[in-house]
């Protein structure tokens, strides 16, 4: 990063913001300047929840042998058309196959998962077999060829793409990878997130509020949000309201993190040192957003580190995104200035920082909430020129704004079922109007 490329720094302390970036402009900036992180290989037992960086193609058939889907008898289907009983000539068990051949008039006892003997083409379920006193067996009803036989490659055929790149691995995906013999899999590295909490008034989580000091609620919330979005969260650091301390903490955090989240110290007060520190250490690309709450939010890019190959996203002919290698470059740690008021902090993380954390880890850029369209029960007021993040609660088949709307009232987000984003060109949403609602709980 060279000095001529850095925007001029304007100190908003005790002056206010001269201008504010639009939400769309901030999103476009982040979209243009973020890429999926590098690939690492992990044991399949550690792959659940990770994002697959390359497609996995099976080198084997699963199963690799015809096997029984039921307990019963391996038979020739045509033999069950006759009323004549079949003589049992052996047994096939898992990993202990019957070594002979099933010839006309004969049957082999099998258990679920056992190999189908040569010569047999179907399985007569034990429940539909009639055992005679002499030990022979006959079918209560004929079976068709192939009945209850799992064919070679029926689950997975050799050469088939088992899972595509970009897939977040679910427990069943990991099981399937194990079934095709994958010992290790290539996944996108988890983004490393460092949380810095500023404020002389703050006590760590677990403490009781006392005197004029309050307990930090932002770091446990941010840690949980980052973990939800697939990050490895590094230990939280508390920083006193001092310029040198804030600058040094940001510089140190940039060494080991892909994303730095700074809680507090970003508004217009005399102790809000973080924006100036970011401007000194790198590029303060955004400070002030036309958004309520979270207006003092900022975005910075810190000094570049050496050499990590990252992945990019490219579209196929149908417009679907997929991971693809890009030329190596050195990514800059991203920094988000998140307001200290808890609701503002939550809003800024969800709308901006969370998208970047997910993008870096190969996950979806979109908000991680279910979206439904519901009518507005009560008028929601806003102001033209800004986006409003409004907490709402369901009322029947509609939603209404939560009464307590202050940016410091975190309980309002607990009482809310979700939120509505009022567009920047609207001064209100009217009763009965349909709106997109993002639900905190899916």
Sequence-separated (6 or more) residues with CB below 8 Å from residue 314: 321, 322, 324
Mean pLDDT of all residues in the chain? 91
What is the predicted pLDDT for the residue at 89?
96
Same domain, 326 and 375: no
Stretch 27-50: mean pLDDT: 96
Q: Which tens digit of pLDDT belongs to each residue from 217-257?
A: 999 999 999 999 999 999 999 999 999 999 999 999 999 99
What is the predicted pLDDT for the residue at 133?
85
What is the predicted pLDDT for the residue at 1?
44
Least confident stretch, 19-23, 56-60, 349-353, 405-409: 405-409
Measure the N-to-C terminal CA separation of the chain; round to a whole number of Å.
41
Top-confidence residue, 330 or 17: 17
Same domain, 325 and 205: yes
Q: Which tens digit of pLDDT belongs to each residue from 95-112?
A: 999 999 999 999 999 999
Angstrom distances, CA of residue 20 to CA of 31, 80, 179, 184, 387? 19, 81, 54, 47, 12
Whether 194 is covered by a domain: the verdict is yes
CB of 265 closer than 8 Å to CB of 223: no
Same domain, 318 and 232: yes
Q: For residue 188, how far is the Cα from the chain centroid? A: 12
Same domain, 355 and 385: no
Assigned token pair, 230: 């697939």
Burial class of residue 155 in the structure, from the number of CB atoms within 10 Å of its CB (0-12 exposed, 13-18 middle, 19+ buried):
middle
The model's pTM is: 0.86
Q: What is the 3-state secondary structure (H, E, C) of the chain?
A: CCHHHCCCCCCCCCCCCCCCECHHHHHHHHHHCCCECCEEEEEHHHCCCCEECCCEECCCCECCCCEECCCEEEECHHHHHCCCCEEEEEEEECCECCCCECCCCEEEEECCCCECCECCCEEEEHHHEEECCCCCEEECCCCCCCCCEECCCCCECCCCEEECCCCECCHHHHHHHHHCCCCEEEEECCCEEEEEEECCCEECCCCCCECCEEECCHHHHHHHHHHHCCCEECCCEEECCCHHHHHHHHHHHHHHCCEEEEECCCCCCCCCCHHHHHHHHEEEEEECECEECCCCCEEEEECCCCCECCEEEEECCCCCEEEEECCCECCCCEEEEECCCHHHHHHHHHHHHHHHHHHHCCCCCCCCCEEEEEEECCCEECCCCCEEEEEEEEECCEEEECCCCCCCCCHHHHHCCEEEEECCCCCEECCCCEEEEEECCC
CB of 148 closer than 8 Å to CB of 70: yes
Same domain, 383 and 435: yes
Assigned token pair, 9: 């720094």
239 forms beta bridges with 198
Whether 243 is covered by a domain: the verdict is yes
Last residue of a domain, one of 310, 328, 360: 360
Q: Which tens digit of pLDDT belongs to each residue from 258-276?
A: 999 999 999 998 999 999 9
pLDDT tops 50 at residue 318: no
Q: How confident is the model at residue 3 (pLDDT cuts 50, 70, 90)?
A: low
pLDDT tops 60 at residue 330: no
Name the pairing type of β-strands 259-263 and 232-233: unpaired
What CATH number is given to the structural domain containing 274?
A: 3.40.980.10
CB of 427 closer than 8 Å to CB of 379: no
Whether 10 is covered by a domain: the verdict is yes
122 forms beta bridges with 75
Whether 258 is covered by a domain: the verdict is yes
Same domain, 293 and 393: no
Stretch 277-302: mean pLDDT: 95
Q: How confident is the model at residue 332 (pLDDT cuts 50, 70, 90)?
A: confident
pLDDT tops 80 at residue 328: no
Q: Which tens digit of pLDDT belongs to each residue from 374-433?
A: 999 999 999 999 999 999 999 999 999 998 767 778 899 999 999 999 999 999 999 999
Same domain, 57 and 203: no
Same domain, 344 and 388: no
| pLDDT > 70 in the chain, percent | 92
CB of 154 closer than 8 Å to CB of 63: yes
What CATH number is given to the structural domain containing 167?
A: 3.90.105.10
Closest CA to 129 of 117, 141, 119: 141
Whether 79 is covered by a domain: the verdict is yes
What CATH number is given to the structural domain containing 376?
A: 2.40.340.10
Burial class of residue 442 in the structure, from the number of CB atoms within 10 Å of its CB (0-12 exposed, 13-18 middle, 19+ buried):
exposed
What is the sign of the dihedral through the CA atoms of 339, 342, 343 and 347?
positive
Same domain, 285 and 320: yes
Same domain, 250 and 340: yes
Same domain, 200 and 318: yes
What is the predicted pLDDT for the residue at 5?
64
Last residue of a domain, one of 171, 186, 201: 186
Q: Which tens digit of pLDDT belongs to each residue from 123-134?
A: 999 999 999 988
Name the pairing type of β-strands 214-215 and 202-203: parallel
Whether 365 is covered by a domain: the verdict is no
Whether 336 is covered by a domain: the verdict is yes
Q: Which long-range contacts (CB under 8 A, 24 or more apart) does 364-370 make?
A: 365/31, 367/438, 368/228, 368/229, 369/418, 369/438, 369/439, 369/440, 369/442, 370/438, 370/439, 370/442
| pLDDT > 90 in the chain, percent | 86
Which range of residues forms the domain containing residue 99?
A: 67-150
pLDDT tops 60 at residue 309: no
pLDDT tops 80 at residue 214: yes
What is the predicted pLDDT for the residue at 405?
61
Q: Any idea which residue has 């979270």 for tokens?
A: 294
What is the predicted pLDDT for the residue at 408?
77
What is the predicted pLDDT for the residue at 409?
86
Domain count within the chain? 4
Last residue of a domain, one of 150, 174, 209: 150
Same domain, 354 and 213: yes
């Amino acid at each position: 990063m060279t000095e001529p490329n850095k925007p001029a720094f304007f100190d908003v302390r005790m002056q206010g913001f001269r201008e504010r970036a639009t939400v769309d402009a901030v999103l476009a900036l982040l979209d243009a300047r973020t890429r999926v992180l590098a690939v690492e290989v992990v044991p399949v037992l550690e792959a659940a929840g990770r994002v697959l960086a390359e497609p996995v193609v099976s080198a084997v058939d699963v199963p690799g042998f015809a096997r029984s889907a039921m307990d019963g008898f391996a038979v020739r289907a045509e033999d069950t058309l006759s009323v004549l009983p079949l003589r049992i000539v052996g047994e096939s068990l898992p990993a202990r196959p019957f070594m002979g051949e099933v010839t006309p008039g004969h049957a082999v006892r099998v258990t679920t998962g056992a190999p189908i003997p040569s010569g047999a083409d179907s399985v007569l379920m034990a429940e539909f077999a009639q055992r005679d006193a002499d030990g022979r067996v006959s079918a209560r009803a004929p079976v068709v060829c192939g009945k209850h036989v799992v064919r070679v490659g029926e689950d997975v055929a050799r050469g088939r793409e088992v899972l595509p790149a970009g897939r977040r691995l679910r427990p069943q995906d990991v099981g399937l990878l194990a079934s095709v013999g994958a010992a290790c899999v290539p996944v996108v590295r988890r983004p490393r997130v460092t949380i810095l909490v500023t404020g002389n008034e703050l006590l760590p989580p677990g403490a009781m509020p006392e005197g004029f000091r309050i307990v930090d609620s932002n770091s446990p919330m941010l840690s949980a949000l980052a973990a939800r979005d697939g990050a490895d969260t590094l230990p939280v650091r508390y920083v006193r309201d001092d310029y040198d301390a804030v600058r040094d903490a940001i510089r140190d955090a940039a060494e080991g993190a892909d994303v730095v989240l700074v809680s507090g110290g970003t508004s217009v007060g005399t102790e809000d040192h973080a924006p100036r520190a970011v401007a000194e250490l790198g590029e303060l690309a955004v400070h002030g957003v036309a958004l309520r709450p979270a207006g003092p939010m900022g975005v910075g890019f810190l000094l570049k580190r050496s050499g990590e190959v990252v992945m990019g996203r490219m579209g196929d002919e149908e417009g679907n995104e997929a991971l693809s290698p890009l030329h190596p470059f050195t990514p800059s740690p991203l920094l988000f200035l998140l307001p200290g008021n808890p609701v503002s902090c939550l809003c800024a993380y969800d709308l901006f920082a969370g998208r970047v954390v997910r993008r870096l880890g190969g996950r979806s850029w979109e908000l991680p909430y279910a979206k439904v369209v519901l009518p507005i029960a009560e008028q929601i007021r806003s102001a033209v020129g800004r986006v409003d993040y409004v907490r709402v609660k369901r009322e029947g088949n509609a939603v209404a704004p939560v009464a307590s709307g202050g940016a410091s009232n975190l309980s309002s987000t607990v009482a809310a079922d979700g939120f509505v984003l009022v567009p920047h060109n609207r001064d209100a949403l009217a009763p009965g109007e349909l709106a997109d609602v993002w639900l905190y709980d899916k």
